[in-house]
Chains A and B, each alone.
Chain A
């Protein structure tokens, strides 16, 4: 149990990633697939933010009233701002493509799509 509670943030990250990864593989609805991808990416965000944590560290703002304060590492946080933007852009492109698929095929279910493509052979 000690392992679970001491590293709970890493466990959250593993669970998020696995939930997302499972969704990407198992869901046939394309919107659910795209959202699972977002969950997967969120798992990685949590991972980065966790590795930036310094025990007892505060926000990395220079504080002259305290001697030798410990700061959290701000770099992973900054990196994740970029990664969040990338994630949003990916989701937006995915949704745009899914809307197009809905218009042309009339369905967004992967199995139905496969069947339609198999039948038409275009």
Chain B
């Protein structure tokens, strides 16, 4: 036990990696799912333990040295309140969605390929967890590519239901690789200046040796640092699908297998947002990014446009899965707006919304996956009158929809409350107004779907639809129940998010 406890930060990443390899070799005849389920459950237990360790420890960070090489020479895994909570988000969602995936995926993927699916699934989770926990900028790039490459393949596996999954995947691959390359180029510039790849070390060198010279007559490496940060910011915006770099997202979410959509929508973009927060606050520092370069203004413009555009485009869709995908673009806008404000309240809102939106949107995609499992389609007209046929599923979907609007007693309300109040605190009344307008449009598109579900009339000769099998229903109800529970009792989420925000603004590495 002591050995596991001591190596927890490494195990959380290495376990799914090794299990992914094992799954691809011995996971035939349905064994793949059991391996994936066991692994994600173990990872969930480990990341909860890590979060508890960090919240208990006074110093707020736990550093793990890979192979005992001291940083900045070796790769260090750093656990702090922010990334421990992102780890928990990723592992909760991946465990719940894996539980759901068994039946859903079996209906969408050829049976002799299932073990490869679960291997890729575990690699994707490995990458997401690794990105979150690593303290090394280049290691982050490698893990980013591990998760991205498996994601491209997972998206393409939706080909059996609709061949457009393939074009969505190649489009995502091209844009995603460009994004990752930009990030890699950004690291090269910062490496030229600092000679280090460790995030905390780069921060120290920039803050203590480079930035102080900028106010004197001989500024050191000014152009290089700015170019490096610019490349990283653009690359990460692509990964995060921040407006106007969101082009890959709608089709990739719409045509991938149901379980993959849920996993991507609730973890991949969240991890992208986390990396962006980390680059701004713990790599280059908020003074450089916001006070000197005014990145916050650019981010706020993008976020505002994302909220309005994403919500409006969601309203115009007739395929419900695509509607949710566009709604995700809007929700990414809220998350970005939170950290663009740069004050403690905004960061808290951002971190809370990471968690709340993961639960809400994950639950909605899963509920929609049940519709696809039972009817074979996710078009709006196929949902007519399903409220009576699939009562639990549709109740969960509606609860999620209410969360997207931000109705009180749902998790979405808590995040929007924090967001609007910190917009006002920062004197950004126009952004507060945009958040409210975005919520209005969310009301429109949610109503459009809910009306169809409960008041639409089902065709006379439509095939009979039964409620979902229990292994698919439980994950949906877990996520929907979670999004309501954390809307009523937000003390846990707000405590963790406040700790993360204070940690970021405390200037510690």
Check B138–A97 contact: CB distance below 8 A: no
Residues of B contacting A113 in the complex (Cβ-Cβ under 8 angstroms): 167
A37 CA to B166 CA in the complex, in Å? 18
Check B152–A97 contact: CB distance below 8 A: yes
- A86 shortest CB reach to chain B, Å: 5
Q: Which of B171-179, B263-271, B295-303 contacts A (4 or more CB under 8 A)?
A: B171-179
Q: Does A89 contact B (CB under 8 A)?
A: yes
A101 CA to B145 CA in the complex, in Å? 23
Check A44–B178 contact: CB distance below 8 A: no
Residues of A contacting B191 in the complex (Cβ-Cβ under 8 angstroms): 51, 76
A24 CA to B174 CA in the complex, in Å? 8
Q: Does B42 contact A (CB under 8 A)?
A: no
Residues of A contacting B141 in the complex (Cβ-Cβ under 8 angstroms): 83
Check A117–B164 contact: CB distance below 8 A: yes
Q: A86 and B173 in contact (CB under 8 A), knowing A37-B178, A40-B181, A44-B188?
A: no
A30 CA to B166 CA in the complex, in Å? 12
- B162 shortest CB reach to chain A, Å: 6
A93 CA to B170 CA in the complex, in Å? 9
- A27 shortest CB reach to chain B, Å: 11
Residues of A contacting B173 in the complex (Cβ-Cβ under 8 angstroms): 90, 93-94, 97
A30 CA to B173 CA in the complex, in Å? 11
Q: Does A2 contact B (CB under 8 A)?
A: no
- A35 shortest CB reach to chain B, Å: 11
Q: Find the B residue at minimum CB distance from A24.
A: B174
Q: Does A104 contact B (CB under 8 A)?
A: yes
Q: Does B192 contact A (CB under 8 A)?
A: yes
Q: Interface size (B, Cβ < 8 Å)? A: 27
Q: Find the A residue at minimum CB distance from B156.
A: A97
Check A93–B153 contact: CB distance below 8 A: yes
A90 CA to B172 CA in the complex, in Å? 12
Q: Does B436 contact A (CB under 8 A)?
A: no
Q: Does A105 contact B (CB under 8 A)?
A: yes
- B139 shortest CB reach to chain A, Å: 9
Q: A79 and B170 in contact (CB under 8 A), knowing A24-B178, A44-B185?
A: no
Contact with A along B256-288 (1 / 0, CB 8 A): 000000000000000000000000000000000
Residues of B contacting A101 in the complex (Cβ-Cβ under 8 angstroms): 166-167, 170
A117 CA to B141 CA in the complex, in Å? 34
A21 CA to B178 CA in the complex, in Å? 9
Q: Find the B residue at minimum CB distance from A114.
A: B167
Q: Does B149 contact A (CB under 8 A)?
A: yes
A34 CA to B170 CA in the complex, in Å? 9
A75 CA to B195 CA in the complex, in Å? 10
Q: Find the A residue at minimum CB distance from B163.
A: A104
A75 CA to B169 CA in the complex, in Å? 33
Q: Does A98 contact B (CB under 8 A)?
A: yes
A98 CA to B164 CA in the complex, in Å? 12
A41 CA to B177 CA in the complex, in Å? 9
Residues of A contacting B181 in the complex (Cβ-Cβ under 8 angstroms): 40-41, 44
Contact with B along A97-110 (1 / 0, CB 8 A): 11011001100000
Q: Does B368 contact A (CB under 8 A)?
A: no
Check A117–B174 contact: CB distance below 8 A: no
Check B163–A48 contact: CB distance below 8 A: no
Neighbour of B174 across the interface among A33, A44, A76, A89, CB < 8 A: A33
Check B162–A83 contact: CB distance below 8 A: no
Q: Does A6 contact B (CB under 8 A)?
A: no
A101 CA to B159 CA in the complex, in Å? 9
Check A30–B170 contact: CB distance below 8 A: yes
Q: Find the A residue at minimum CB distance from B196.
A: A75
Residues of B contacting A37 in the complex (Cβ-Cβ under 8 angstroms): 174, 177-178
A94 CA to B175 CA in the complex, in Å? 12
Q: Does A122 contact B (CB under 8 A)?
A: yes
Check A48–B177 contact: CB distance below 8 A: no
Neighbour of A79 across the interface among B138, B169, B185, CB < 8 A: B138
Q: A98 and B170 in contact (CB under 8 A), knowing A40-B181, A82-B142, A90-B177?
A: yes
Q: Find the A residue at minimum CB distance from B155.
A: A97
A21 CA to B170 CA in the complex, in Å? 16
Most B-side CB within 10 Å, residue of A51, A90, A105 = A90
Check A90–B145 contact: CB distance below 8 A: yes
Q: Find the B residue at minimum CB distance from A86.
A: B145
Check B185–A97 contact: CB distance below 8 A: no
25 contacting pairs across A/B (C-beta < 8 A)? A21-B178, A33-B174, A37-B174, A37-B178, A41-B177, A44-B181, A44-B185, A51-B188, A51-B192, A79-B138, A82-B138, A83-B184, A90-B177, A93-B173, A94-B174, A97-B169, A97-B170, A97-B173, A98-B170, A100-B166, A101-B167, A105-B163, A117-B164, A122-B162, A122-B163
Which 9 residue pairs of A and B lie closest in terms of their CB atoms, listed nearest first?
A104-B163, A86-B145, A101-B166, A97-B170, A97-B156, A100-B166, A51-B192, A97-B169, A90-B177
- Interface, chain A (partner B; CB < 8 A): 21, 24, 30, 33-34, 37, 40-41, 44, 47-48, 51, 75-76, 79, 82-83, 86, 89-90, 93-94, 96-98, 100-101, 104-105, 113, 117, 122
Q: A40-B181, A86-B149, A90-B173 are in contact. List 7 more A-B contacts (CB 8 A).
A: A21-B178, A51-B188, A86-B145, A97-B166, A101-B170, A117-B164, A117-B167
